[in-house]
Structures are given as C-alpha cells and as structure tokens.
Amino acid sequence: MVKHITLETIQQLYLTITPKSLGVADLGCSSGHNSLSIIKEMVDAIEEACHKGSRPVPEFRVHLNDLPTNDFNAIFTALPEFYREVRRERNDGGPPIYVAAYPGSFYGRLFPGECLHFIYSSYSLHWLSRSNRATVGLTVDRINPSIPQLVKEKPAVKDKVRQRVVPPALYDDQGRMGSDQVDRGNSFFWELLSRSLATLVSKGEVEEEKLDSYNVHFYAPSADELEDEVRREGSFEMDRLEMFEVDRDVGSITGYGTAVATTVRAIQEPMISHHFGEGIVDNLFEQYGKLVDEEMAKEEIRPVTFVVVLRKRM
Ligand SMILES: C[S@@+](CC[C@H](N)C(=O)[O-])C[C@H]1O[C@@H](n2cnc3c(N)ncnc32)[C@H](O)[C@@H]1O
C-alpha cells in the first residue's frame, strides 16, 4: 500500500517536471535490504512512466541520508550487485544511477541547494530530535511534540522552500487513529517493551537506574495532528494523507508475538545493546514476544501507519 503510493507519487512528479537528471533523497535510509530496494523500485517506476510516454529515461541522483553512525559502508558494499542487477534486468542497459551518502541528522541541513526533486522518508520520523519532557522514559507518555518537528524542523525540506524549489515529500511512519496519545496501537508496543525491561529489573538482570535513564522519544501522530501542523506551518499543501491499520498477518510460522519481537528488535537492538549491554537482548525480546501474545489474547493491538504526500505551495 505504502509502496504503491510512493511509486505512484514519484511517477506523477516525474511526468510533471520531466527533468533530465532526477534528484531523490531518502531520509533515514538505514543500511539493510530496504535502503537500495526502494531506490530500485523508484527507478523501475520512472522507467515504466518514460516508456509509456515515449520519453528518455533520466539519470538518477540518489541522496541517502541517515545518522553518521549508520553503516553506509554496508550500502556501498552492496552497490556493485545492485548495479549488476539493474543492468541484468535491462540486457546490460539501464539509466545511470549515482548514489551518494549524506550522513547527518535530518533535523539539520543536509543537502546542497537545488539538487532534489523528491524526498522520501519511511519509518524514520517517529524518532524525535527532542522531547518537551525532561524525561520521557520508554513508556510513551502524553507528550506533545512533534509534527512540528516533522515539518518545521526539517530544513532538508525548509531550505528548499526558501529557494523556491518544489520537492514533494512523501513520509510514511507510525500513526494513530484516535485522539488519545496512549492507545492500544503503536504506543502499546512501547509500553510492552517497557514492561519487559521492568521484568528484567525485577529478576535482577537489569539495574533500575539503567532503566530510569533510558529515554526514547517516540511519537505517533493522528491524521488531525498531521493536517493541523501542515496547515499551521503553511509552506506545503497536503496532496494525500492515508491512515491504515497494519496487516496482522505477518506470515510468520513462529507466531505473532515472535514476529513483532523480531521487528522491534531489528529497530531497537543497537540502542538497547548500547545502553544495557548485549547480554540482555535475547531474554528481553523473548519476554517481549510472550507479552505481546498474552496481550493479544486479551484484546487486539492495532498498530497504524500513515502516509503523507506534501507539495510546496506555489
Ligand atoms: C526504522 S529505520 C527505517 C529504515 C528505512 N527507512 C526503512 O523503511 O526500512 C529508521 C532510521 O531512521 C534513522 N534516523 C533516526 N533519526 C534520524 C535523524 N534525526 N536523522 C537521520 N536519520 C535518522 C535511524 O538511524 C534509522 O536508520
């Protein structure tokens, strides 16, 4: 669903402006399989649009962004195979694709002027640059950050506004359906992680002070908040906003709890290992998977994803 919207959006953008050289950025690209696979799908989508419209395929300039600690080398190491695959699928042809890394926080300026046509960011915005509470802790409290941070703090977007360039931006991330910031959706998964850590504290496997000093700034906005913030900030029009419940069918033979634990572990492990030490990670996520299953048996947990497409006002 999200991918479909992403590809449709970049195709529409391309057909509107038809640049010879298309600049794309991925904010929070990470270093796994997704980092390059979404780029390949964008290239495929643009090529399809070009063939349908009998237009030449543009060259692609790909700006990969993540925090400086991200393993950009892993992406670069995967690049030769990526290029081989692109060429293989096109009988040794294919458009030039130039990939570069822009390490840094997307809450600061990242790119040179006028180099981007499309900004993409998937599942990265829920990490806030700051919280308005001194200590948030792992449990998601009733905090009031951060769609402002989404739109206002994103100079990668804002700078473009000043320069009167028009980069549409597509963000997808965790959201929520209702007005309550603490619900039985995404925030509940954080609540369960907090409870799992508390269990390890009660068993003496984690020091209480360590838990007290572990802060994660997380926020899942509602559709109203997204709309309000985009309206208040004023530079963008919201072309599209969709909220949908994440499919419960995780296709896992190990069960829902384990599948959720594996996903959350993939996201949280580096931070947890860094703060608590690697030794607790297996126990923690085993405990976590069990808790998820226990809670699901009591009542459904309904995580929500949003997709928003923004376009600069003319
Ligand atoms: C859950 S991963 C998402 C990865 C990828 N976009 C995907 O959809 O699979 C979130 C990524 O956002 C990055 N991130 C978080 N805060 C960031 C910031 N302020 N600036 C740049 N990257 C950030 C993290 O380092 C992480 O790699």
**The pLDDT of residue 58:** 97
- Burial annotation 41-61 (CB, 10 A radius, 16+ → b, else e): ebbebbbebbeeeeeebbebb
Query: Running DSSP on this structure, what letter comes out for residue 127?
Result: B
20/55 Cα distance (integer angstroms): 10
215/217 Cα distance (integer angstroms): 6
Which element (helix H / strand E) includes 173?
Answer: strand 169-175
For the chain, percent of residues with pLDDT exceeding 90: 55
- Return the bridge partners of 99, or none: 62
Contact status, residue 308 vs residue 6, Cβ threshold 8 Å: no
SS3 218: strand
What is the Å distance from ligand 1's center to 246 Cα?
19
Does the beta carbon of 66 sit less than 6 angstroms from any atom of ligand 1? yes
Please, what is the Cα angle at 46 between 42 and 47, to 5 degrees? 115
For the chain, state the CA radius of gyration. 21
The token duo for 274 is 């860094």
**The pLDDT of residue 181:** 79
What is the Å distance from ligand 1's center to 251 Cα?
25
Query: Each residue of 267-292: pLDDT tens digit?
Result: 888 889 989 999 999 999 999 999 99
- pLDDT > 80? residue 253: no
The token duo for 40 is 């390949």
78 compared with 186, residue with greater pLDDT? 78
Closest residue to atom 27 of ligand 1, CA basis: 30
What is the Å distance from ligand 1's center to 124 Cα?
4
Indicate the pTM of the whole model: 0.84
Does the beta carbon of 1 sit less than 6 angstroms from any atom of ligand 1? no
91/153 Cα distance (integer angstroms): 44
Closest residue to atom 5 of ligand 1, CA basis: 29
- pLDDT > 70? residue 136: no
**The pLDDT of residue 134:** 32
Closest residue to atom 8 of ligand 1, CA basis: 122
Place of tokens 């180099």: 115
Query: Each residue of 144-185: pLDDT tens digit?
Result: 333 434 444 444 444 443 333 345 688 888 888 988 878 899
**The pLDDT of residue 45:** 97
Residue 254: which pLDDT band, with cuts at 50, 70 and 90?
confident
**The pLDDT of residue 167:** 55
Section 187-195 average pLDDT: 91
219 compared with 87, residue with greater pLDDT? 87
- Burial annotation 244-283 (CB, 10 A radius, 16+ → b, else e): eeeeeeeeeeeebbbbbbeebbeebeeebeeebeeebeee
Selection from 135, 53, 61 nearest residue 95 by Cα = 61
Which element (helix H / strand E) includes 74?
Answer: helix 72-88
70/29 Cα distance (integer angstroms): 9
The token duo for 107 is 């809450």
Closest residue to atom 20 of ligand 1, CA basis: 105
Query: Each residue of 38-82: pLDDT tens digit?
Result: 999 999 999 999 999 899 999 999 999 999 999 999 999 999 999
Does the beta carbon of 31 sit less than 6 angstroms from any atom of ligand 1? no
Mutate to test the pocket of ligand 1, among 67, 107, 172 (most ligand atoms within 8 A of CB): 67
Does the beta carbon of 267 sit less than 6 angstroms from any atom of ligand 1? yes
Closest residue to atom 24 of ligand 1, CA basis: 28
